[in-house]
């Protein structure tokens, strides 16, 4: 199973543990972290740009800064590149192993794909391509939903739906989960699940339907929590239940809402 | 993930293959695509195009396709020449060499030589696609930038980076040419996928209002086949291929072969005299003349319909 996080943000983290640390931890546990800085002209600045790059480097992934219009394309490209890169790493490792075992001990150095003769390379690439099409893949999208991101959330949602379309064409198991942060303060949650692992987003009318009005950007804590979910299978239990059940009261009793959150909904 | 440094090789660099030992001399950089750079190179007196990939896996995957194509075409008129590695300062640069086609992108070619050329160009593309499909592949990233037209409308598809085995997820695509972008079907590589892109390409090349590009400013919910069909109906240059395009966008062709047949049928129905008028018309820009012409065209097609039904 290949696991990736795509973090979509437009600014610097300003609360809790450093997101670079969280990303490094993710890579350690086999989850690759890619980062997209979604910006209109000139926003973000040097500090934000540097942080985005650092998170991706620590997370073994790629970072890009794009305008909302190019978001869908960028998400596609990142996913594809990361999958290819991971599989290729695995194949290279196997290759080194195989060639060591077949006793080419006096060969100059362990062989990587680039050093293979052309004919053999052609065969290996066929294997890599086949694996990238059939390998099981889970991608969690972690979306910064702080105030400045609000106008861009529609573009984010469109990009996620577009990615789903590509996933449905893949042969291997392909699932997406979507989270945003900061989560609702009650019960206190760092991140909020918008949809659990799914192969079909069509039924979900509106992805980001409840947003916290808090202005902070706890990117690091959010990454950590998501990592916990991806490696241990669950979020904080309570939070999970709220995410699963709170949709109904939201639709039925919009009066109960204050500032976009459920003020009196207790699990 | 580390991205290795990709230098641009200056003119007069000699590139000698690690395996085949053939030497090429860089003349200049022809262009840069999503997967690599293409140089004009010289070997003796002969000119070739050389593609240096940014990534050895995707370059090799292109080479695999090109080699299979060359084999299938039985060696006549080879587009692909050879592949090799160039080593410079310990770094490995895989490349392949292909025929140098002195041509223009489809849109530029039409602008220079007139829109009538769309017919042979379309036929060329359809033929190329059907060869690929017969080998079990879909081209995937069909677009203006990947169609190179030279003398007499001879057309080459360049950049095989999007070529995908039938039934897999399309590897590389460009938004406005993508079936999924128009909510008109999946991103699974099938013959209909290429045909759809072909249809969009035709609209892109002939619509004087540039409505394909404009679609990128619309919200996704408003992008659908209806929008494309509207262009087909209102673009004066679609003329006699309109029924063909409608069937393409509605997914009515089961194979490119079938589509190819009907494409040709459209052409032979083409009222040759009128199309000649049509291409010179935009320069004149007399509104009533356009109207009169439209009426006469309608009358003509009605007569043809009566004659041939």
The interface residues of chain B toward chain A in range 53-72, judged by CB-CB distance below 8 A, are 55-58, 60-61, 63-64, 67
The mean pLDDT values, 10 residues at a time, for chain B of 309 residues are 67 95 96 89 96 91 93 80 93 94 94 92 95 95 96 92 95 94 95 97 92 90 93 84 94 94 83 43 50 72 70
- A chain contacts of residue B219, beta-carbon cutoff 8 Å: 154, 158
Residue B238 half-sphere exposure, CB side, CA atoms within 13 Å? 22
In angstroms, the Cα distances linking B14 to A40, B25, B55 are: 43, 5, 21
Select the residue of B19, B61, B186 nearest A125 (Cβ to Cβ). B61
Please give the full DSSP string across A184-222, using - where no structure is assigned.
Answer: -TTTT-S-EEEEEEES--TT-S-S-----------HHHH
Q: Give residue B174's pLDDT.
A: 94
CB contact under 8 A, A114 and B85: yes
Full-model pTM: 0.82
CA distance B244 to chain A (A): 27
Average pLDDT over residues A15-42: 92
Taking 50 as the threshold, does the pLDDT of residue A265 lie above it?
no
Taking 60 as the threshold, does the pLDDT of residue A251 lie above it?
no
Average pLDDT over residues A188-208: 83
Q: What is the CA radius of gyration of chain B?
A: 21
- B chain contacts of residue A59, beta-carbon cutoff 8 Å: none
> Who contacts B169 (Cβ-Cβ below 8 Å, separation ≥6)?
A133, A166, A167, A169, A170, A171, B187, B188, B189
CB atoms within 10 A of CB A240: 16
CB contact under 8 A, A165 and B187: yes
Q: Give residue B235's pLDDT.
A: 86
Which tops the pLDDT comparison, A234 or B83? B83
Average pLDDT over residues A250-255: 34
CA distance A85 to chain B (A): 8
Angle between helices B118-134 and B106-113 (to 10 degrees): 150
Three-state secondary structure of B191-232? HHHHHHHHHHHHHHHHCCCCHHHHHHHCCHHHCCHHHHHHHH
- Examine the predicted complex and report whether its ipTM is higher than 0.90: no
Place of tokens 């972690």: A142
Select the residue of A61, A122, A162 nearest B1 (Cβ to Cβ). A61
Is the CB of B175 inside 8 Å of chain A's CB atoms? Answer: yes
Question: Among B290, B274, B271, B292, which residue's Cα sits nearest to residue B282?
Answer: B290
Least confident of A74-78, A89-93, A125-129, B248-252: A89-93
Sign of CA dihedral A245, A247, A252, A258: positive
Sign of CA dihedral A251, A257, A261, A262: negative
What's the rounded Cα separation, in Å, for the pair B300 and B274?
10
- A chain contacts of residue B81, beta-carbon cutoff 8 Å: none
| Residue A227: strand, helix, or coil | helix
CB contact under 8 A, A126 and B64: yes
What residue ranges in A2-93 does DSSP mark as E strands?
Answer: 2-9, 31-38, 60-66
Q: Give residue B54's pLDDT.
A: 87
Evaluate whether A61 touches B1 at the Cβ level (below 8 Å). yes
CB contact under 8 A, A171 and B167: yes
pLDDT category of residue A249 using cuts at 50, 70 and 90: very low
Please give the full DSSP string across B17-73, using - where no structure is assigned.
Answer: -TTT--EEEEEEEEEE-SSEEEEEEEETTEEEEEEEESSHHHHHHHHHHHHHHHHHT
Select the residue of A82, A84, A158 nearest B57 (Cβ to Cβ). A84
What's the rounded Cα separation, in Å, for the pair B256 and B191?
6
Mean pLDDT: which of A85-89, A97-101, A112-116, A257-261 is highest?
A: A85-89
Q: At B50, list the tokens.
A: 């050389």
Is the CB of B4 inside 8 Å of chain A's CB atoms? Answer: no
Evaluate whether A226 touches A175 at the Cβ level (below 8 Å). no
Element (H, E) at A176: strand A174-181
CA distance A211 to chain B (A): 22
pLDDT category of residue A243 using cuts at 50, 70 and 90: very low
Question: Among A218, A154, A155, which residue's Cα sits nearest to residue A183?
Answer: A218
Question: Among B173, B222, B49, B70, which residue's Cα sits nearest to residue B131?
Answer: B70
What's the rounded Cα separation, in Å, for the pair B137 and A59?
35
CB contacts < 8 A (A, B): 74
- Beta strands A2-9 and B155-157: pairing type? unpaired
What's the rounded Cα separation, in Å, for the pair A194 and A143?
10
Please give the full DSSP string across B251-264, using - where no structure is assigned.
Answer: T--S-HHHHHHHHH
Question: Among A231, A139, A217, A226, which residue's Cα sits nearest to residue A177?
Answer: A139
- A chain contacts of residue B186, beta-carbon cutoff 8 Å: 165, 168-169
The reply to whether omega before A8 is within 30° of 0 (cis) is: no
Evaluate whether A237 touches A35 at the Cβ level (below 8 Å). no
């Amino acid at each position: 199973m290949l696991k990736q996080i795509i973090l979509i943000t437009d600014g610097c983290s300003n609360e809790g543990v450093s997101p670079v640390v969280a990303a490094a931890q993710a890579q350690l546990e086999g989850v690759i972290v890619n980062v997209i800085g979604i910006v209109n002209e000139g926003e973000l600045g040097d500090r934000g740009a540097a942080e985005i790059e650092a998170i991706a480097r620590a997370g073994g992934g790629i970072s890009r800064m794009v305008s909302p219009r190019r978001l869908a394309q960028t998400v596609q490209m990142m996913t594809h590149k990361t999958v290819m890169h991971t599989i290729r790493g695995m194949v290279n490792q196997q290759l080194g192993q195989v060639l060591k075992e077949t006793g080419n001990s006096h060969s100059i150095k362990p062989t990587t794909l680039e050093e293979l003769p052309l004919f053999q390379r052609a065969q290996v690439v066929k294997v890599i391509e086949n694996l990238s099409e059939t390998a099981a893949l889970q991608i969690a999208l972690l979306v910064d939903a702080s105030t400045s991101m609000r106008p861009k959330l529609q573009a984010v949602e469109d990009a996620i739906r577009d990615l789903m379309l590509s996933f449905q064409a893949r042969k291997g198991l392909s699932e997406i989960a979507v989270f945003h942060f900061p989560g609702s303060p009650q019960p206190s949650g760092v991140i909020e699940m918008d949809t659990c692992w799914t192969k079909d987003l069509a039924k979900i009318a509106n992805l980001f339907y409840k947003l916290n009005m808090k202005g902070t950007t706890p990117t690091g804590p959010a990454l950590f929590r998501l990592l916990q979910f991806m490696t241990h299978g669950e979020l904080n239990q309570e939070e999970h239940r709220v995410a699963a059940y709170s949709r109904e009261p939201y639709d039925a009793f919009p009066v109960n809402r204050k500032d976009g959150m459920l003020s009196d909904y207790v699990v | 993930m580390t991205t290795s440094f990709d230098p641009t090789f200056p003119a007069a660099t000699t590139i000698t293959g690690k395996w085949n030992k053939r030497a090429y001399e860089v003349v200049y950089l022809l262009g840069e695509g999503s997967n690599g750079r293409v140089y004009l190179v010289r070997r003796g007196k002969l000119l070739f195009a050389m593609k240096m990939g940014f990534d050895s896996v995707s370059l090799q995957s292109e080479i695999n396709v090109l080699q299979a194509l060359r084999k299938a075409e039985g060696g006549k008129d080879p587009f692909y020449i050879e592949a090799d590695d160039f080593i410079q300062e310990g770094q490995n640069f895989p490349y392949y060499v292909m025929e140098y086609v002195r041509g223009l992108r489809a849109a530029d070619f039409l602008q220079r030589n007139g829109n009538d050329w769309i017919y042979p160009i379309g036929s060329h593309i359809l033929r190329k696609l059907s060869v690929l499909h017969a080998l079990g592949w879909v081209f995937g990233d069909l677009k203006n930038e990947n169609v190179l037209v030279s003398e007499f409308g001879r057309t080459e598809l360049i950049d095989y980076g999007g070529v995908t085995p039938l039934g897999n997820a399309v590897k590389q695509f460009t938004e406005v040419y993508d079936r999924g972008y128009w909510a008109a079907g999946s991103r699974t590589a099938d013959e209909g996928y290429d045909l759809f892109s072909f249809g969009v390409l035709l609209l892109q090349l002939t619509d004087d209002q540039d409505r394909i590009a404009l679609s990128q400013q619309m919200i996704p919910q408003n992008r659908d086949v209806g929008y494309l069909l509207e262009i087909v109906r209102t673009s004066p240059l679609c003329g006699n291929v309109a029924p063909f395009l409608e069937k393409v966008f509605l997914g009515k062709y089961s194979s490119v072969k079938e589509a190819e047949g009907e494409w040709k049928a459209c052409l032979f129905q083409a009222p040759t005299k009128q199309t000649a008028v049509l291409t010179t018309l935009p320069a004149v820009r007399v509104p009533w003349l356009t109207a009169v012409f439209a009426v006469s065209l309608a009358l003509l097609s009605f007569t043809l319909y009566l004659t041939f039904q």
